[in-house]
Copies of this chain bind each other. A is one copy, B any other.
Amino acid sequence: MNNLPKLQIALDDQMLSEAIKTMQLVYKEIDIIEIGTILCCSEGMSTVKNLKAMYPDKIILADIKIADAGEILSKMVFDAGADWTTVICCAPIDTVKAALKEAKKRNKDIQIELTGSWTFEQAKQWKEVGVEQVVYHRGRDAQAAGQTWDVHDLNNIERLINMGFKVSVTGGITVKDLKLFKDMAINIFIAGRSIRDSKDPLEAAKEFKTAIKKYWG
């Protein structure tokens, strides 16, 4: 494989100040800064503007999970400084197209967020309209209900990669989980609480990077 999987931190705080505290500790190890849905909804687009101002060289992803109004919402996050944004998997294909069009105009990108119900029939449609990135998601509530990474997840991820998508993987991922994916060309691993809630977030981020080099280097 040519490229190492990248490391994305999910900032799912309710206050920008908390997200900033985490970033100041870990920024050196992070490739992509995700401003989580929680933080976007809590404090709005100023979170995107301010984090882009602080980290202009990082990829800033505003995870707003667009379901409708693809043009207005994607313009809004891109104008605020986001490089990437997300569209929820059940969104009408016209919404996907509208958001993708705004992204491509600006040399930016969207990702389809695979949270909850979706089908490979839809995935084929996303591919046809030019979507390049998807986020494979083991939901927070599904995790809480005891759902773990299983063969079903791994098969789905492999199938998406084989379709030509760049795949991000997320959902309570720990360093120990990385080995499960070692034979696949994962584009991005997203870690949230396993870095943020660690006693030493920088060390936790470094452990992710070390494991990524070990399995994909």
Contacts and interface: CB of A to CB of B under 8 A. Distances in A.
Interface of A: 12, 14, 37-38, 40-46, 64-65, 67-73, 76-77, 88-92, 94-95, 97-98, 113, 115-118, 122, 137, 139-142, 144-145
Nearest to A122: B117
Contacts of A89: 90, 117
B92 A64 contact: no
Contacts of A44: 40-44, 46
A115 B91 contact: yes
A115 to B, nearest CB: 5
Given A42-B45, A44-B43, A88 B117 contact: no
Contact of A14 (B76, B98, B141): B76
A142 B94 contact: yes
Contacts of A139: 68, 92, 94-95
Given A90-B118, A94-B144, A142-B92, A41 B68 contact: no
11 contacts: A12-B69, A14-B72, A41-B64, A41-B76, A43-B45, A65-B88, A67-B115, A68-B141, A88-B90, A91-B115, A98-B144
Contacts of A71: 141
